[in-house]
Structure 1
């Protein structure tokens, strides 16, 4: 693939979509991971003076913020840090007052985090008359590996047609620090959480199947089960026709 042309196409598309929306620039979350780093650099190219990053730790590992700051400073992207830990704990405490706290599973609880992050991003988007830019890649979107109305609740998805392995190559073209490229992908939902451990297989295995239809039978079965289960995430809410 020609990543020079891909980069140029994405930058033009971001500019076009923001302009069509009568907005002035872009706002996105900086997680310290490869996807948000790639999208941040592309947004900076599209809107050199109107790209804003938000680092949003929420019971997060300190290295997430450190990598995010490194990316922002290296590419001269203005940013702020909003620590959502206390907000998360306050909300969790509020909804647990009726006795549901003990019965809620871990995902029910931690999915609050990306929804708080998206609420924060839309605040800054409103403040700066900007679009909220998503950082989801094609692999994650196909699997529904994101939180509905959390990291999936965005205005546009610039790398949504690139598989994870392709995002890696684009990151190298954009000269993203190698330490960020090689970090184990994580949604930062709990300490030590990684995407591949949670899914039970590697991004390479998923991408191979999604691109070629080939793979180990047991992996294919799991992938197809996940796709069916997450199908609702890729559609608008159904409307009853009267």
Structure 2
């Protein structure tokens, strides 16, 4: 990949979009992962206002430290960038007490609470975005957004712009190296940070991003019969998650009313 050209293209795209939208810049949630690290750096490079938010919810200290190491590096390098922490744990605990049904009839409750964390962060980003005239910048990559739908609908999927959604995860890591991000970000193991017990993306998905990328690049041109061994296992994982994520990947269905009934 021609990283310098890609970086220049994304920075100009972000700058042009903000100018056309009539806003001052971007707000972004920084998790301590490579995606938010790359995107926040690209936003900073526009020269427009950048507000980076670290939004802990029962967060692991390692993730918090990594996020701040990156944000401190960016604020030193770019005078247009600011960083702050908004502790969402108290708000989440109140929701937990209000929503918690503690009933075996609801096996998806833990997942629902994990997604609630992401949606709380989305609300926070839009609040700070609105009062500062900033757009919410997304951090999803191509596999997450258009392959397996590995994000929360109206959570981290609730954004105004998505500058790296056409880049595979391995390409995002290439940008991280080219942008000279802090080592902890460049080497960060992908995780969504939505669980009390640490779960990496690979543990949750059952496949690595390079394995998933191989399938996605061949999606639509090869079938299950073309694979064997580990590739077949990953194909089935990708197929299952892609099918389940169509409600995220496709636009919201609209029930069309026949014109003659109006």
TM-score (norm 2): 0.87
In 2, the alpha carbon distance for the partners of 1:93 and 1:236 equals 33
Q: Please state whether the residue corresponding to 2:45 is helix, strand or coil.
A: helix
Q: Deviations over 1:41-98 (max 9, x none)?
A: 00000135x00100000011011111111111112131110111111110121123xx
1:171 — aligned with what? 176
Select which of 113, 121, 137 maps to 2:141: 137
In 2, the alpha carbon distance for the partners of 1:200 and 1:223 equals 10
- After superposition, residues 180-219 of structure 1 pair within 5 angstroms as 180-190=185-195, 191-213=197-219, 216-219=231-234
Any conservation in 2 of the 1:31–1:65 contact (CA below 8 Å)? yes
- Distance change in 2, residues 1:134/1:241 (3 Å): same
1:241 — aligned with what? 256
Any conservation in 2 of the 1:164–1:203 contact (CA below 8 Å)? yes
The answer as to 2:110 corresponding to 1:106 is yes
Q: Deviations over 1:154-180 (max 9, x none)?
A: 001000000000000010000012221
In 1, the alpha carbon distance for the partners of 2:140 and 2:102 equals 31
Residue range with higher mean Cα deviation, 29-38 or 213-222: 213-222
List alignment gaps of at least 5 residues for structure 1: none
In 2, the alpha carbon distance for the partners of 1:118 and 1:156 equals 13
Q: Please state whether the residue corresponding to 2:72 is helix, strand or coil.
A: helix
In 2, the alpha carbon distance for the partners of 1:34 and 1:87 equals 27
- Distance change in 2, residues 1:34/1:239 (3 Å): same
- After superposition, residues 37-52 of structure 1 pair within 5 angstroms as 37-48=37-48, 50-52=49-51
1:32 — aligned with what? 32
Q: Shift of the alpha carbon at 1:100?
A: 5.7
Select which of 230, 236, 242 maps to 1:221: 236
In 1, the alpha carbon distance for the partners of 2:47 and 2:122 equals 21
1:67 — aligned with what? 66
Please tell me the root mean square deviation across aligned C-alpha atoms, in Å. Answer: 1.4
Any conservation in 2 of the 1:95–1:101 contact (CA below 8 Å)? no
Any conservation in 2 of the 1:139–1:206 contact (CA below 8 Å)? yes
Any conservation in 1 of the 2:26–2:135 contact (CA below 8 Å)? yes
In 1, the alpha carbon distance for the partners of 2:109 and 2:95 equals 16
Q: Deviations over 1:167-212 (max 9, x none)?
A: 0001000001222121210110112111110000111100122124
List alignment gaps of at least 5 residues for structure 2: 76-80, 258-262
Any conservation in 1 of the 2:73–2:182 contact (CA below 8 Å)? no
Q: Shift of the alpha carbon at 1:218?
A: 1.7
- Higher-Rg structure is 2
Runs of 4+ in 1 over 4 A off after TM superposition: none
TM-score (norm 1): 0.94
1:56 — aligned with what? 55
In 2, the alpha carbon distance for the partners of 1:9 and 1:95 equals 44
Q: Shift of the alpha carbon at 1:105?
A: 2.5
